[in-house]
A and B are shown apart, each in its own frame.
Chain A
Amino acid sequence: MDFNLTEERQMLQDTLRRYLADRYTTSVRNTILDSDSGMSTDIWAGLAELGVIGALFAEADGGFGGAGFDIATVFEELGRAGVVEPMLDTAILGGRLIAALGDDTQRGLLEEIIAGAAHLALAHGEPASRYDLTRVETTARADGDDIILNGRKAVVVNAEAAGQLIVSARESGGMFDLDGISLFLVPAGTPGLALHGYPMLAGGRAAEVTLDTVRLPQSARLGAAGGGLAPLMDAIAAANVALCAECVGAMQSAVELTRGYLMTRKQFGRPIGTFQALQHRFADMLIELEQARSALINASGHLDSADRDRQIAAARNLIARAGRLVAEEAIQMHGGIAMTQEYELAHIAKRIVMADHRFGDADYHLERFIALSAA
């Protein structure tokens, strides 16, 4: 066993950490959070230039990474700095679906994505689907040579910035059937496609998407008719590794901020970190952080294994629990200051807790783990 990063990944980690420490300061991030677009094009271009996006793709797709540990390396740093730019949506969800399913023309998008010149969004979840990946009520039907989409998609992250939406729709079968889900590339501005955008609590933007008789040519089809679920699950598995890593990075920041505060904040004539009651709770935060890191390593290392889904369910369940403890304890030990918008920790805590609401919370992943372990 070897728990060290490879030389390349170590270099990527160092470079990215330095870049974000210099460029993604609290005030820069607060400006981004207050902006209409909810992201910085400068930062996005900077990340592309550093090769951060390329690190998330395999060589065959024009990148130089793409494995579980590459995803973990990048997203841990993004999480540590509280980055809100839509790397998960454009590069992981969008990028992996294009890489896995795209025809030659569609694969042309990969180069643009890696260069930081294109954004994507996955429009899969629907108002009633919660975390259930099979519940698709949006329909796709043939009309001559064309395809017509009708339906609604909920909380589509990065929809407004995306040049293309990857939309899932049911082409055959019933509402919860595993077969019959197809994927389509829908360019922004297609008639019948309407976005109602809004900011999110933890930063970034999303939209409610309505598809009202959206007419597409056959060339918009991404992958085989009715075969969308398996590649969706592959992309979402990678997204779950990314979310785990982002949380571990953010938890690390929360712990570091708390340590600094405990050592400098004085009440009753001494640093509050000298009170044993707080020391023990700080120790528990560190213990949970190490558990979370190990769960992340398990998930990253199994991204391409047969045991992938069970490992990922385990990691997301553990990190959801550990993350909540770390976020809440960090706020509590800071006191009032952590409740303010402009203090670093508030944002970090929001990133940790709100990750719960993407692709399943602790309970969802617990149920997945139980089901997969019984299988």
Chain B
Amino acid sequence: MKTRNFLLPVATAGILAITLSACGGGGGGTTGGNDAASQGLDGRGPITYVQGKDNSNVVRPLIEKWNAAHPNEKVTFKEQTDQADQQHDDLVQHFQAKDPGYDVASVDVVWTAEFAAKGWLQPLKDKMALDTSALLKPTVEAASYKGTLFAAPESSDGGILYYRKDLVPTPPKTWDEMMSMCSVAKAHNIGCYSGQFKKYEGLTVNASEAINSAGGAVLDKDGKPSLNTPEAKAGLENLAKAYADGSIPKEAITFQEEESRQAFQDGKLLFLRNWPYVYNLATTEGSSKVKNVLGMTALPGKAGPGASSLGGHSAGISVYSKNKATAVDFLKFLTTEETQKFFATQGSLAPVIGKLYDDKDLVAKLPYLPVLKTSIENAVPRPVTPYYPAVTKAIQENAYSAIKGEKTVDAALSDMQKSIESASAGQ
């Protein structure tokens, strides 16, 4: 009697919990997007724009401007954190929940394929098509998956080779040339070259640059790994050799962007591969020792400019949005010359419109633009694959061992190849 009385509420609670878990069980579904992609195409009304932290206050003024012109289709800004991983996870959660409140989202170039393959991004074709003729080609490629555009390129980024004008009058054009100049560094008792070689996303950027610049590729056109090639080997070997003979200083395997910038600014490096943001800091910060001797050039390749990894963001429309007509208009607004110019002047974001790189006012303000244009024109998007998280881990893990010399370059590449094959063999 007593036990039964006691069990009743407990059982109620248990049943409640089981019901709840049953509701959640179907949450893993990922193919629901295809029906949603044909709905809401003509919808107009208020939308939300989702983006990571707006550090240099670019987005708010833009949205105010848009809202003044479109009082019935106002855009609300939803600001995420400034951590890329957290932005990614936040988007995944909202897309999985089919949240119609995330209409337009700013998507890192490396997430586009994953989100598109999950059916979360609205294909930008037919009614939703965008004119991309004025945009830089690599940025459009990075926003496409299987030949279809899934997002509007919003901002771009490419690697730049910074060098010491006082020590090397003519910058190197190829990797071998650069390595031959390392004697200069040695004579001045400083490190020769560094990029970002800590085991994190930056290592993927640097390793793919090395492989692409030597004529290799991480993935072939069909998205299959193609690392067992002489070109890929030559690329990774460049890094491994340079680290082994000290051309890349040993502390470089602890460097992220900031540490490498600091080392260069302190005058401890002859060459530095980094993003455009370094220019401003290295020329204005009081502690910088390279203020007046900072040179910039394209990344060195095999016989000419190297292949930079492409950075930047694209704006995609969620398939679950109810007001897609407004959303497309907003994407077009983001890619106008005026908006792009504002991005560049206000936020130092690299424009996606080729023409702007030759704009005199802009170049006066951001002197690295001509170099950056060469960099982006020759850029190769990081591997475009829905399995990007697994691919980048495979590259980081093995490139790190190869650079440190714990593994031969051959073994590292073959392990990379196998890991990527295994990741995409899930089905």
Partners in one complex: no
Q: Which residues of B approach A to under 8 Å, CB–CB?
A: none
